[in-house]
Amino acid sequence: MASDTVVVGRTATGRVALVSLRPDAEPLGTTEIDADALADAVSAREGAGEVRWIWADTAATYPPLLAVGVRVARAWDLRLVHVILRQAQAVADDHGLRGATEWDADTAAPAGGDTLFDLGDSASGVPDTADAAVVEYRRQIAAITSSETPGALRLLCAAESAGALVSVELHAAGVPWSRAAHEELLESELGARRGGGLPARIEQAAATVRTALGDPSASLDSQPRLLRSLHRAGLLVQSTSRWELAEHDHPAVAPLIAYKKLMRLYTANGWAWLDEWVRDDRFRPVYVPAGVVTGRWASSGGGALQIPRSLRTAVRADAGWTLVTADVAQLEPRVLAAVSRDTALAEAASGRDLYAGIVERGAVASRAEAKLAMLGAMYGATTGESGRLLPRLRRTFPRAMQLVDDAARTGEDGGVVHTWLGRTSPTAGESWRELQSRASDAAASGVDETRARRSARDRGRFTRNFVVQGTAAEWALAWLADLRARLAALPEVDATRAAPASGPVFQRRPHLAFFLHDEIVVHTPLEHADAVAEAVRESAASAGRLLFGTFPIDFPLDLRIGATAEKG
DNA sequence: TCTAAGTGCGCG
DNA sequence: AAAGCGCGCACTTAGA
């Protein structure tokens, strides 16, 4: 069934226009409504059949809809798609898209976002009128259609847009977060909260360090001063980082490491963090889709993507609900196997543990070596244990290694690379090119040459990793998008079982609560947990087929059902 | 007093 | 201090 396409944007008089488009993106007709009637209009259209909503910026337009209970099934985010297509190598004729610089405002999503009911308030700075949106959408479709890989690009843009919906929904639903469990952990680790001054356990650790250093006034928070204190006490370290301290045998080392650990918990995820980021037992981070050039998401505020694993004990389902958590085992090497069509690596990956499979094929002796070597291949290691193991990986998996080596070479030469679906790496910058051309000049100094070579290598490692990290991000988007649809199809529970803090759209049904590169958490009423687990597995399989067709690569999940998100 | 850069550490 | 990718945040010091 063909779906309707409706463009949403502001009119010159501050109202909202809904422009229906034909499949060829020709306008069919326009309805004009008051801005505060938008949610009802969207809701009515969603109820009547499949619609793809075209709008400038999901981060600006979708939150107010969700806030009043309106979910949409499909969207097209003009701002995010513009960034993809502007850059895409496969787009030969851009139909003026690259010149439409008013759409280049690829800034972070507006923080918070819940109050942006007025379409005109888009904080990202892209145009917000319906007219501009129609023009840009037609450019985008034309650019995709005339590209070398229209199918892949269309898929990428749809997945990116679905991800934008998910990012807003994750913020709206929030991670179920037990303030009580978090406080309990803080008190057991740090001691009681104190109004002024540090918690007792931190003070104690600091005192122990100062005694061991024989320096009662040693500063522990200023790196240069701490370094001097350590030197005076005979601890001849180059830095104050944990790994280096741990190599020395000195009475100050253990308490100093303990101090750093406690201080980190206190400053990054202590009571102040709780007060700022957790309300009504929900942690609501701001996700930034495609905030990383590879297509990975970033986050802004709350350190959403850096929550220490030890704190996941505070992630607790509401009463009568539970959590389904899942992460993909070795996503990136699996993606590499599929992209390079390396059947040997794919065979090693079949089953649960890809690294064990590499050992079985005789490439290296141990699982630890297999992991080290594989990470080295994807990150571009040249020295150390990892670098030494690479030739053995090259012999066993020549196709996969060729792909990453080629990507590195392209980057070193100043070229661009792209992911499986066609997200293209940034072009080499002006200063980078200057550095390279200065080094190839006849009069170049040795210093110039060294600097140029190093910067070329740096760029090579970036492009080497881009193809793998970026394609993994595409797989994850496909997983999210598919799972989102499956969850929406599960039945609601009755109002007595609702989780109101999850918001009007999600309080009565299973919903995504957290996403981090290759793992997800779903918050679900207890009776749907098994169905959710099945949906999570099916969507992973579906994502693999969507990207890689019949190529024999699987994406096994580590999946758990339980009231907390702790890893079992 | 503000900003930029350095350091260190949390996550994948 | 990282060998080897991508991030965000807290804290500090240096500099305008």
Q: Whole-number Å distance, CA A170 to C1' C5?
A: 27
CB A562, CB A314: distance < 8 Å: no
- A53 CB inside 7 Å of strand C: no
- A469 CB inside 7 Å of strand C: yes
Share of chain A above pLDDT 70, in %: 96
- A267 CB inside 7 Å of strand B: no
pTM of the entire structure?
0.96
The residue whose CA lies nearest the C1' of nucleotide C8 is A303
Sorting pLDDT into bands at 50, 70 and 90, what band is A349?
A: very high
CA-to-CA separations, A418 to A83, A86, A459, A461, A481, in angstroms, rounded: 14, 13, 14, 14, 22
- The closest nt to A245, taking CA to C1', is C1
Q: Does A28 or A105 have the greater pLDDT score?
A: A28
The answer, yes or no, to whether residue A352 has pLDDT greater than 90, is no
Chain C nucleotides covered by protein, CB below 7 Å: 1-14
CB A140, CB A97: distance < 8 Å: yes
- A231 CB inside 7 Å of strand B: no
Q: Average pLDDT in the A188-209 region? A: 95
Distance CA A71, CA A74 (A): 9
Which residues make Cβ contacts (< 8 Å) with residue A465, sequence separation at least 6? A294, A378, A379, A380
- A517 CB inside 7 Å of strand B: yes
- The closest nt to A239, taking CA to C1', is C1
Reported as a single tens digit per residue, the pLDDT across A112-146 is 333 333 443 446 789 999 999 999 999 999 999 99
Residues paired with A129 in a beta bridge = A10
Q: Which of A148, A77, A93 is nearest to A421 (CA)?
A: A148
Separation of CA A549 from chain center: 24
Q: How many degrees, rounded to 5, is the angle at CA A46 between CA A45 and CA A50?
A: 100
- A458 CB inside 7 Å of strand C: yes
Using the structure block, give the residue that is written with the tokens 């890809």.
A354
Helix (H) or strand (E) holding A519: strand A519-525
Write the DSSP string, A275-294: HHHEETTEE---EETT-STT
The residue whose CA lies nearest the C1' of nucleotide C9 is A303
Residues paired with A550 in a beta bridge = none
- A189 CB inside 7 Å of strand B: no
What is the average pLDDT value for chain A, to the nearest integer?
94
- The closest nt to A227, taking CA to C1', is B7
Q: Whole-number Å distance, CA A451 to C1' C16?
A: 29
- A359 CB inside 7 Å of strand B: no
Report the pLDDT value the prediction gives residue A120, as an integer from 0 to 100.
38
Distance CA A388, CA A391 (A): 7
Sorting pLDDT into bands at 50, 70 and 90, what band is A442?
A: confident
Q: Is A372 helix (H, G, I), strand (E, B) or coil?
A: helix
The residue whose CA lies nearest the C1' of nucleotide C12 is A222
The answer, yes or no, to whether residue A317 has pLDDT greater than 90, is yes
- A445 CB inside 7 Å of strand B: no
CATH code, A1-174: 3.30.420
- A519 CB inside 7 Å of strand B: yes
Q: Whole-number Å distance, CA A32 to C1' B11?
A: 46
Q: Which of A239, A242, A285 is nearest to A262 (CA)?
A: A242
Q: Is A327 helix (H, G, I), strand (E, B) or coil?
A: strand
Which one of 1.10.3470, 3.30.420, 1.10.287, 1.10.150 gives the CATH number of domain A332-467?
Answer: 1.10.150
How crowded is residue A279: how many other Cβ atoms within 10 Å of its Cβ?
A: 14
Reported as a single tens digit per residue, the pLDDT across A253-289 is 999 999 999 999 999 999 999 999 999 999 999 999 9
Considering Cα of A48, then A52, then A53, then A58, what sign does the dihedral take?
positive
Report the pLDDT value the prediction gives residue A110, as an integer from 0 to 100.
44
**How many distinct helices (H) and strands (E) make up chain A?**
20, 14
CB A326, CB A520: distance < 8 Å: yes
Flag the least confident range among A69-73, A342-346, A421-425, A427-431: A427-431
- The closest nt to A298, taking CA to C1', is C7
Q: Do domains A1-174 and A332-467 have the same CATH topology?
A: no
Q: Say what angle helices A367-379 and A398-412 make with each other, to 10 degrees.
A: 30
Q: Which of A202, A257, A247 is nearest to A226 (CA)?
A: A257
Phi, psi of A412 (to 5 degrees): -60, -35
Reported as a single tens digit per residue, the pLDDT across A479-534 is 999 999 999 999 999 999 999 999 999 999 999 999 999 999 999 999 999 999 99
- The closest nt to A518, taking CA to C1', is B12
- A302 CB inside 7 Å of strand C: yes
| DSSP-derived pairing of the beta strands A298-299 and A321-328 | unpaired
Check residues 283 to 312 of chain A and report those whose beta carbon is under 7 Å from nucleic acid strand B. 305-310
- Domain definitions of chain A by residue range: 1-174, 182-272, 332-467
Write the DSSP symbol of residue A501.
G
- A238 CB inside 7 Å of strand B: no
Chain B nucleotides covered by protein, CB below 7 Å: 6-12
Q: Whole-number Å distance, CA A486 to C1' C12?
A: 48
CB A473, CB A543: distance < 8 Å: no
Check residues 276 to 295 of chain A and report those whose beta carbon is under 7 Å from nucleic acid strand C. 288, 291-294
| DSSP-derived pairing of the beta strands A74-77 and A51-55 | parallel
Longest Cα separation, chain A = 81
Distance CA A285, CA A514 (A): 9
- The closest nt to A303, taking CA to C1', is C8
Residues paired with A59 in a beta bridge = none
- Outline where A217-330 has alpha helix (H): 223-232, 242-245, 253-269, 271-277
